[in-house]
Amino acid sequence: MRAYLAQTGMELRLTARRGENVLVTLVIPLLLLLFFASLNLFPGSSKPVDFLLPGILALAIMSAGMVSLGIATAYERHYGVLKRLGGSPLSRGALIAAKITSIVALEAVQGVLLVGVAVLAFGWTTNGSLPWAVVVALLGTTTFAGLGLLMAGALRAEATLAGANGLFLVFALIGGVFLPIDHLPAAVAAVSRYLPVTALADLLRAALGGGSLPGFSLVVLVLWTAAIVALTVRTFRWE
Amino acid sequence: MCFVTPAPRTAQPRDAALGDEQAGVAIRVVNLRKAYGSKVAVANLSFDVNVGEVFALLGPNGAGKTTTIEVLEGYRRADAGEVRVLGLDPQRDGRDLRRRMGLMLQDGGIYPQARPREILRLFASFYPSHRDVGELLKAVGLAEAVKTPYRRLSGGQKQRLSLALALVGQPKLVFLDEPTAGMDPQARRATWDIIRSLRERRVTVLFTTHYMDEAEQLADRLAIVDQGELAAIGDMATLRHGTEATVRMVTDAAVDVEALRALPHASGVQTSGPASCSFETPDAPALLAELTAWARDNSVVIRELRAGRESLEEIFLRLTGEEVRG
C-alpha cells in the first residue's frame, strides 16, 4: 500500500512536470471546447455545447489514456525505468494500479475544468445520469489506456510517440467529437461508426443528455475494450 | 530516522537451498546455460559467492557477465542449470528476493525528469526497511544535487544515484553491473569506499568492471569468464598461482646477455633493447642477489631493477587473449 501510494504520487508529479503532457491533456481540449462552442455550428437547433462537451470529454479521455499514458510508458520502457522497477519489490499490480489512479486523477481535473467552463461560459445544464457517465468514462479510459499501453509495450518509443499523436488527430477529426458523423462523407462515416472514440462520445452524449444508452455504441465500445485489454496483456513487454 | 516495519512474511525457502545461507553461501551457480536464439551467452558456468564477500565477475565484452547477473537478479530464466541467491530461486521466489537484494543496472533506468531525493524516497517506500535518504545522498556525494533532474546529472552523478538506489533498501546482497563506468577518479574512489563499507556490514557484493585495478583493489575473490565459461576463479594469490615473478633490469650500457643467461636463477630471459632485459623466475630474491652481485663484479651501473608479480590485467589478458571482442 505504501509503495502504491508513493508510486502514484511519483506518476502524478511526473505527469504534471511534462509540459507537452499538460498541453495535450488540458490546454488543447479546453481550447477546442472554447473555440467550437463559440461557433454557430448548429443554427436553429439546441446549444452547440450540448453536443460538444461530451465529445470533448471523450477527446480528453483519449488524450489522458492513449497519448499521455502511452507515450510516457513507452519512454519509461525505452529508458529502462520499467526494468529497474521490476527489480524492486514494487509489484506489477501496484505499478499498474498507480498508473490507473494517476490517469483517473488527471481525468477528474480535465472533467472539472471542461464541465466548469461549459457551465460558466456557455450555460450548460444537464438532466443526465452522472453514474452512467462515470461508467462509460471508465470503460473509455480502459480502452484508450489499453491502446496506449499496447503501443508502448510493443513499439519503439518514437513509434509510440508518432502513433499516439497520429491516432489522436485522426480520431478527433472523424470520431464524432466536434460534429455528428453524418456530416462526414458516407464512406468515412461508415468507418467512424465502429471507432471507439465515436462510441464513447455517443455514449457520453446519451448519458449526459438524459437519454438511454445507444445499444450499438455500447456493444462497439465493450468489444474494443475487451479486444484491446486481451491484446495488451498478451503483448506487453517490460524491457 | 530509519523506520522499520515488521519483516514481511516470507515463503519458507524450500529444498536443498535451505542450507545455503547457514553454510555461508550467498550465491550459488551450477552449470548455468543461457542462449539467445543461436547465440550462446553463457555456455556452462558454475561458481559460489560467500556471504559477506565482495566478488568481481570479470571478462571481455560478450563474455556473458551481464547475462549471468540478470539470471541471478531474476530478469532472465536460465536455459539449464541452477541458481540460488540468498537461498532463493530468483524465478520462483522473486518477490522475497527483491526485498533483500539491491541492484544497479548498466543503464540507470531512472525517470529523466525525476530528482535524486524524490526517486530515492520512492524506492525507500518499496522496502520493508530503508536507509535514511538524506544520509545516503550525502554518502554518494549527491547532497548538492538533490533537486537536479536526473537527465541533467553528469554521467558519474547518474551512476552514484543508481548506486544509492541499490543500497536504499538495506539489502543483504547487491549486484553492481559496472558501477564506476563513466566516473572520474575521485568519484571512483568514493564508490570504492562505499563498497568497502558494505563489506564491513557483511553485505555480499557481486560486481563487474572493466577496470582491473578496481577489481584488484576491491574484490575478495574474482572470477574471470570468457565466452560463457569460467576461465579462472579465486583470490589474487590463487589467480597468480603457478605464474612466476617477473624481474626487470635496465642498465646504463649494453650488457652481455649470455652472461646473464648463465646466472643460476635466470630463466625466461627476454631483451627489449641492448640495456634492458627481463626474467621470469620462480625465485625472485635469489635472482636479484645474483644480478646485483654480477653488476658489482662487472662494474655495471643499474638504472632500474624491479621485481613484481603479474598484475591482474596481465592475468586477464593471458587468460582471455589479446584480440578485441565485440
pLDDT number for residue B5: 46
Helices (H), chain B: 65-73, 94-100, 116-126, 133-139, 155-167, 185-200, 212-218, 236-240, 257-261, 284-297, 312-320
For B277, the 3-state DSSP assignment is: strand
CA distance B234 to chain A (A): 29
Q: Model confidence over B148-170: pLDDT tens digits?
A: 999 999 999 999 999 999 999 99
Mean pLDDT of B246-271: 87
Check whether B14 has a pLDDT greater than 60: no
Cβ distance B126 to A18 less than 8 Å, yes or no, reads: no
**Which among A75, A89, A239 has the least Cβ separation from residue B98?**
A89
Please list every residue in chain B whose beta carbon sits closer than 8 Å to the beta carbon of residue A17.
113
Q: Taking the domains of chain A in order of start, what are their residue ranges?
A: 2-235
Res B3: pLDDT? 46
Alpha carbon distance B128, B106 (integer Å): 25
CA atoms in the 13 A half-sphere facing the CB of B297: 8
Q: Kindly give the confidence (pLDDT) of every residue in chain A, 239 residues in length, as a single tens digit, with 9 standing for 90 and above.
A: 899 999 999 999 999 999 888 999 999 999 999 998 888 766 656 678 888 999 999 999 999 999 999 999 999 999 999 999 999 999 888 998 899 999 999 999 999 999 999 999 999 998 888 999 999 999 999 999 999 999 999 999 999 999 999 999 999 999 989 888 888 899 999 999 999 999 999 999 999 988 888 999 999 999 999 999 999 888 887 76
**Alpha-carbon gap, residue A105 to B21, rounded angstroms:** 46
* Contact flag A80-B105 (C-beta cutoff 8 Å): yes
Q: How far is B117 from chain A (nearest CA, A)?
A: 12
Does A92 touch chain B if contact means CB atoms closer than 8 Å? no
Q: Quick one: pLDDT band at residue B7, thresholds 50, 70, 90?
A: very low
A6 closest CB neighbour out of B108, B111, B122? B122
> Which residue reads 468507418 in cell numbers?
A191
CA distance B128 to B9: 11
Nearest to B75 among A17, A76, A87 (CB): A87
Q: What span, in angstroms and rounded, lies between the C-alpha atoms of B293 and B286?
A: 11
On whether the CB atoms of residues A110 and A64 are closer than 8 A, the answer is yes
Separation between Cα atoms, residue B19 and residue B31, nearest integer Å = 19
What's residue B19's pLDDT?
Answer: 58
pTM of the model: 0.83
* Side chain identity at residue B123, one-letter code: F
